[in-house]
Structure 1
Amino acid sequence: MNKKVLKISFDYDFTLIGISAPTRDYRFCWFLNKELSFNLIKTDDIILLNKANEEIYFSRYHQFFEESEQDYFLIGNKGISGYLIPERKEIDFFLLIHNLNYQSERDALLQQINKMSITQTAFFIDANKLKSKENFLF
């Protein structure tokens, strides 16, 4: 009998910004809301299991813009006992954006985040090059 193998590939079609800002998630979210006129709201945490089968919680904030159909997610990279993306431990937060289609919009957003006093650095990340990219599928 022949075996059939099902290969699943996911689409990582979103803009991903890595942000280094050594502060608490709610404080950084407040700065984003204030400086960029966002209204990010705390939602359910992302829960992953580590190697010891212990749950690790990562904070998540969300805002949806109806007029442009853009979804913004601010996600913490550091949990109590692990990282959401372990290969990028220098990153404190990820800003994941669906439907941010124009390069000029992306560049302007990145520039605004870098101008914030609380931000040390912010930069674009290619999600396809991350080993743990499946952690962004929620």
Structure 2
Amino acid sequence: MAVRKLVLDDFFDEEQYTLIGIHCTLEDYRLAYLLNKYLEINLLRKPEDLDFDKGKSVYSIFEWEDSKHLKTWSLVSNICKREEQNKTTYASLFETQEPIIKTYNLIPEYKQVNFFLKIENEYNDSKEKYIVKQILSIPQIVTAYSIDTSQLKSKANLIFS
């Protein structure tokens, strides 16, 4: 009896997407508005933010499904700041709690990036450069650049659904 072996490597390829890091000091809603205006897209705030570790870190997310080109655009914050209580004990009878601000990152390898623009169904190189050029034309943007997703260690954090 012959033994047949099925190789499924081709069926389970990684999802293809373009990832652009954006440095700016804008609020998330303002950046989404400017990206909509300059890129002629329609990012809308999702009803629920990305939640990691049961509320330990929460990241805002805006999304647009382009049905014409079968692409999904997502703008997600990379930085979450939370106020937590720090218990300190001094050489006294009383224990005090001081609030401290802790910073969490969605992608820890890129701590300086404020936002990520993820475009599912990868664009070719020239279209990606055009998108980055359009983002850089926004006066409030400090810098924006493409990120090589094959080098990311925490790419599982970019799965939004």
8 Å Cα contact 1:58-1:79 kept in structure 2: yes
Matched, 1:14 2:41: no
CA–CA separation in structure 2 for the residues paired with 1:130 and 1:25: 23
Displacement, 1:12?
A: 4.3
Larger displacement relative to structure 2 (68-77 or 96-105): 96-105
Matched, 1:108 2:130: yes
1:136 matched to which residue of 2?
A: 158
CA–CA separation in structure 2 for the residues paired with 1:54 and 1:10: 31
CA–CA separation in structure 1 for the residues paired with 2:55 and 2:133: 38
CA–CA separation in structure 2 for the residues paired with 1:16 and 1:111: 14
1:27 matched to which residue of 2?
A: 30
8 Å Cα contact 1:59-1:76 kept in structure 2: yes
1:40 matched to which residue of 2?
A: 43
Task: Summarize the Cα distance change of 1:35–1:56 in structure 2 as closer, same or farther, 3 Å threshold.
Answer: same
8 Å Cα contact 1:40-1:61 kept in structure 2: yes
Aligned letter for 2:24? A
8 Å Cα contact 2:61-2:75 kept in structure 1: yes
Q: Which has the higher helix share?
A: 1
Larger displacement relative to structure 2 (107-116 or 96-105): 96-105
8 Å Cα contact 2:43-2:64 kept in structure 1: yes
Largest Rg, 1 or 2: 2
Unaligned residue ranges in structure 1 (runs of 5+): 1-8
% identical aligned pairs: 32
Task: Summarize the Cα distance change of 1:67–1:129 in structure 2 as closer, same or farther, 3 Å threshold.
Answer: same
CA–CA separation in structure 1 for the residues paired with 2:64 and 2:58: 20
Displacement, 1:128?
A: 2.1
Displacement, 1:19?
A: 0.5
Task: Write out aligned runs for 1:114-129 (5 A).
Answer: 114-129=136-151
RMSD: 1.7
Displacement, 1:102?
A: 2.2
CA–CA separation in structure 1 for the residues paired with 2:55 and 2:16: 30
8 Å Cα contact 1:41-1:61 kept in structure 2: yes
Q: In the TM superposition, what whole-angstrom CA distance separates every residue of 1:22-74 from its partner, at most 9, and x where no partner exists?
A: 1211111111112222210001211112xxx7521101000111111011000
Q: TM-score, normalised by structure 1?
A: 0.85
Matched, 1:78 2:100: no
- The count of corresponding residues between Structure 1 and Structure 2 is 127
Displacement, 1:120?
A: 0.5
